[in-house]
């Protein structure tokens, strides 16, 4: 008995969807069998994909030329259910290096202490590690993140630019507060004056 197809385009689209879904399910099974840490790899890729890539994929159904490595991995997950062996190993390597950096950061954070006493005005010999700025209703505010000779973090946030990244500066400033950011002790200073 012949099969009557009312809407051949819809029928062909349904077949293509089923084939794609079966390909994705099979790829995911194979990927999970090959990588015992597949969940961690998938979570890492999905947490770092750009919103632009998600939008492009949703609109077109495929990757964008010139996409980053992580974006390409994400598209591979969506289309094929997993990553290639080389992609999986590369992401695993990224995860390992990230864990090393976090462990090193935590170890370094334990060595940092607050400098001086709150309210004290004292001299600082600082090396500027990062300078950033933002606009407020009162003008430009600079955030100067510095280190002293013992690698303790000293932060000045205000209208003065202490210098550029990597510069060494000597200032006299008041210790405004002792704070912690991401587990690192920070000494917040105010009213710095070049010596």
List, for residues 53-79, the tens digit of each pLDDT value.
666 665 565 555 666 788 888 888 988
Q: Give the integer Cα–Cα distance in Å for 8 and 121.
A: 82
Which tokens in the block code for residue 174?
A: 């008041």
**What's the pLDDT at 50?**
67
Q: Give the integer Cα–Cα distance in Å for 190 and 62.
A: 52
List, for residues 35-44, the tens digit of each pLDDT value.
999 999 999 9
Q: Mutual orientation of helices 38-48 and 8-34 as an angle, nearest 10°?
A: 120
The ranges of the chain with pLDDT < 70 are 1, 50-67
Query: Rounded to two decimals, what is the model's pTM?
Result: 0.57
Beta carbons of 153 and 185 less than 8 angstroms apart: yes
Beta carbons of 102 and 138 less than 8 angstroms apart: no
């Amino acid at each position: 008995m012949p099969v009557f197809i009312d809407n051949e385009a819809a029928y062909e689209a349904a077949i293509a969807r089923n084939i794609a879904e079966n390909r994705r399910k099979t790829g995911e099974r194979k990927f999970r069998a090959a990588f015992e840490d597949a969940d961690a790899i998938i979570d890492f890729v999905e947490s770092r994909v750009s919103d632009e890539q998600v939008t492009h994929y949703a609109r077109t159904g495929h990757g964008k030329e010139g996409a980053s490595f992580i974006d390409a991995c994400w598209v591979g997950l969506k289309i094929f259910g997993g990553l290639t062996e080389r992609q999986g190993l590369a992401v695993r390597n990224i995860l390992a290096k990230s864990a090393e950096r976090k462990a090193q950061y935590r170890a370094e954070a334990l060595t940092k202490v607050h400098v001086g006493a709150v309210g004290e005005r004292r001299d600082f010999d600082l090396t500027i590690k990062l300078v950033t700025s933002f606009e407020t209703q009162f003008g430009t505010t600079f955030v100067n993140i510095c280190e002293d000779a013992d690698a303790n973090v000293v932060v000045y946030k205000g209208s003065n630019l202490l210098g550029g990244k990597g510069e060494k500066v000597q200032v006299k400033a008041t210790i405004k507060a002792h704070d912690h950011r991401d587990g690192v002790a920070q000494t917040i200073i105010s009213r710095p004056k070049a010596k």
